[in-house]
Amino acid sequence: MLPYRIVRWINEVYPLTVFFLYLGMFLLTFAVCFLIPVVGILALLFAIFALIPAVGLWQILQASERWLARGLIRGRVCPGCGKPLAEDPSTASDCLACGAAYETNGARVVV
């Protein structure tokens, strides 16, 4: 359950972290682009090509979160809090304690 919580936290923080890194890079590039225009062009190229590994890593993190959640759901344990899940495993698994809902593939359901 602890590895699931760690991966879930990283999944929640990762998009915002990448956004603020890009925002910081924009501000730095804007401050320097009038003095050294080549830096602005290189920063633009880096930003475009850095999106590919950033999105790929996020997809891997989401897949690992679903994989970890599926193992816990099969054991009828809530991945978020560790309490027992509701008895009907046909469509979605609902936690009686924390109210979280999970699909059968391990994805969290936003309620």
Q: Domains of the chain: which residue ranges?
A: 2-109
Name the region of 77 (left: φ>0; alpha: ψ -120 to 50; beta: rest).
beta
Tell me, yes or no, if the pTM score tops 0.85. no
User: How much is the pLDDT for 91?
Assistant: 56
Give the number of residues written for the chain: 111
Give pLDDT tens digits along the chain (111 positions): 789 899 999 999 999 999 999 999 999 999 888 889 898 889 989 999 999 999 999 999 999 999 999 888 888 888 888 888 877 656 567 887 888 888 888 888 876
Q: What is the pLDDT of residue 68?
A: 92
What Cα–Cα distance (Å) separates residue 10 from each residue in 2, 56, 89, 90? 12, 14, 27, 29
